[in-house]
Structure 1
Amino acid sequence: MKILVVDDDPNILELVTINLTQAGYEVRKASNGLEALEAVSEEMPDLAVVDVMMPGMDGYSLTRKLRAEADVPVLLLTAKGELEDKEKGFLAGSDDYVVKPFEPKELLFRINAILRRYEKAVDIQIQAGPLKINRQSYEVMAGKKVFLLPLKEFELLSVLASKANQVFERDFLIERVWGYDYEGDEQTLNVHIKRLRDKLEGLQDVRITTVRGVGYKLEVPVP
C-alpha cells in the first residue's frame, strides 16, 4: 500500500512517515502541492495525507486536484478544528479530517477506515513466497497443499502476506482484522498468531516472526 504524505512542516512530515512505515505502508513524501502532484503523476498512491496550511497551493486546493484528476482518497491534517474548516475540507473532497496535534494511532485508525471503504486494504490475489492467497475464494495454497483457515486467521495471514518481510504493529493488526472498536483482550492476537504458526510449520522458509515491542512479520524468501 502506497501513501503520499504532503506537509511543509518537516517535523510532521517525518513523524507521519515513521509511523506509517512502521505500520507496513510504503510512503512517499512531498513538502508542497506541486511536489505532490508530480509524485502522483509518477506513481499513483492508494491514499494521500495532506496538510491544509501550506504556502502556495493549500490543502483544500490540492485535495480538489487529487480527487478530480486522479480520484485519490485524501485525509486532511490541520491545526484548525472549527466546524467551518471541517466543512470546507469535506466540500473539497476529503474523506476524513484529523486535527493537530494528533495521536499517531488515531491517524492509522482513520487511514485504515478510509482504505476499507475504498476496498484497497489488501489485494484480492496475494503472492508471498510459496503462499498464494485468494481473498475472493478464501483459499490459501502452497504448491498442491491447501490450507483451510477460519476467517480471522485468514484475514490475519492476508494482512501479513500483503507486505511480506515487513513488520506490522500489533495495534494495526488488531484494528485491521478485528475492527477499530474492538474491545477484547490483546491475547486474542497472540492465539491467532500461534495457530497460524502451527499451520505453516511444514512450509520451508515461511514463518511468522515476533519483533519485540512492535509486532509481527511474515518472513518469506526474497525473489
Structure 2
Amino acid sequence: MAQDFAKQFYSTKEWIRLRFNLIQERGPICQHCKKIMIDTSKLIGHHKVHLTPQNIHDVNITLNPEKIELICTECHSKEPGHFAGSRKHEVYIVYGAPCSGKTSMVNQLAVRGDLILDLDKIFECISGMPLYDKPDNLRFNVFALRDKIIDMVKTRYGKWHNAYIVGGYPAKVERERLAKELGAELIYCESTKEECYSHAISCDAKSTEWQQWIDKWWNAYEA
C-alpha cells in the first residue's frame, strides 16, 4: 500500500502523464505475467526502487521510466509490502475531471481488502456494458447503490481496511461537506482538459459524448 507521503505524488499530473505515456509506448501489457490488459486502469506503474520519504522528491527515481515497471493489479498485490492493508478504516475521496486518471490512481494506492466505491464501476457492473457506456435509465439505481455504500462507509460498517470514494465532485462545497461527513481526506487527481480529452480517446470512449462531460466538469470546477 502507498504510504501517506506517496499519496500526493501519485495524484500529480507529472506521474499521471508519465504512466499514460509508458502505456502508450510499451503497450497495455503486464511486464511480469505478460497479460494484455484491456482495462488499463488495472495496469500499475510499479517503482523498482521502493519509495521512501527520503527519495520521494528525487525525480531520477520517481519519474525515471527505466526504474518503473507496468504490472497488473494481481502481480502488484504480490509485491512485498503491497498485500496486507492497514485496518484503520481511513477514508479518501479521490476527485477530478472525467478521464483524468482517478480509477488508475486508486488502483495504484489500494490493496486487497480495501473498499473502492467508483460510480463508473457500478454502472459497468449492473448494466453489463463497457466501462464508458452508461445507460441513462439506470442512473437512479446506480446513485441509490452509491448512497447505500457511502452510508456504510460513514458508519464504518464492515471489516474493510481503508475506503476510496471515486467521483468528480467539481463543487468545493459538496466535496468538503462529504469529506466532513465521512471523516475523509481529499485527494485531487491533477490533469488538464487536453489530457482528459486524450485519455478519453485512448480508452476508446465515445469521445464526443465524453468531451461534453469533461467540458461540463471544468466549467463547474472550484479549486
Q: Which band: TM-score by shorter chain?
A: under 0.3
Question: Which is bigger in relative contact order (C-alpha 8 A, separation at least 6)?
Answer: 2
Which TM-score applies when normalising by structure 1? 0.27
Q: Which has the higher strand share?
A: 1
Which TM-score applies when normalising by structure 2? 0.27
If you compute each CA radius of gyration, which structure gives the higher value, 1 or 2?
1
